[in-house]
Each structure stands twice: as C-alpha cells, then as structure tokens.
Amino acid sequence: MRHLPKHARPRWRYLAVRVTTRGEVIERDGFQRAIWYAGQNLLGDPGGADADLSVVRFRFADGEGAAVVRVRRGEVSAGRAAVACVDQVDRTPVGVAVRGVSGTIRACEESYLHADGGVDDERETRSSGGRASRPVDVQTADGHVGATETEVSDGVSESTADTDAD
C-alpha cells in the first residue's frame, strides 16, 4: 500500500496538558482511557471519532505531570473541551489544565511544558525559573481547604485560608 501524498494526510494539533493529583500515581493507559471517555461523553460517538484524541507523550511523578494530546486540526476547541472534562483517572481525582496548542510535538513541549518538567526529551536544555506549586489540603475549623505548597510556605495561615474559602 502506498503512502498518502502530503496534502491528503490528516493534519494534527497538539495540546499541552498539565495533570495534577493529591499525591496519587496515575498511568498513561488510564489517562488515555479517561480522555477517550470524556470525548465520547461530551461530543458523542461521531464527535469523539472526529476529534481522534490520543495521548502522544506522558510523564507523571510526585502528583504532577504533563501530557501531549494529539487532536485533529479543526477539532481543537472540541478537543480542549473534552480534555477539560476529565476529573478522574481510574477513580483518582485529577486536575487537568490545557496550557496551549501547537502544530508540532516539539514546539508544544518547548513552549508550554518545560516549566512543568516537560515530557521526557533529551533536547530540553532550559531550566525552570519558577517554583513548583503542588496542591495540598489545609485543615481549618470548617474543614479542608485546597491550597498550594507555595501558598502554605509563603505564610497563608488557617484564618486566611478560612476567609478565602467563603
């Protein structure tokens, strides 16, 4: 079978996705399954097939990670919406944020994911200038409040966290 000419091949866009949990570990297969189900549930069978969401690169450690998700050009907004609908992976609550969209995997990683540790890639030479900010639970008189390590280490007290929750 011959290859398709370049003008007849499908065109792709790549979503840079940041993934966080509260310390639990998630696997690539589970994340891929969650992406597929989110696409199918939000867009329906035909829309999910049109978007053709696929995890190309995935790295996850210590409750934080990054992924590059492939989506067909022209279906980027539908793909972003489907990725944003992911709230758990294998019954583990996750936070997902689409950092940006790019036309190549390399540009996607270099432009949007290097601050998050990126995806395993030996070409990455830049270092992160910012501090990592992992989500944590803060116990208050009213219950638990979500915060980040940066907020806690910068001196957010229980009373401040309590007033922010209201």
Instruction: Return the H-helix or E-strand segment holding 96.
Output: strand 95-102
Cβ neighbour number for residue 60 with a 10 Å cutoff: 22
Q: Say whether pTM exceeds 0.85.
A: no
Delimiting residues of CATH 3.30.70.3250 domain(s) in the chain:
10-116
Q: Does domain 10-116 have CATH number 3.30.70.3250?
A: yes
Q: Mean pLDDT in runs of 10 for the chain (166 residues)?
A: 88 94 91 95 93 94 92 94 93 92 93 65 40 65 71 56 47
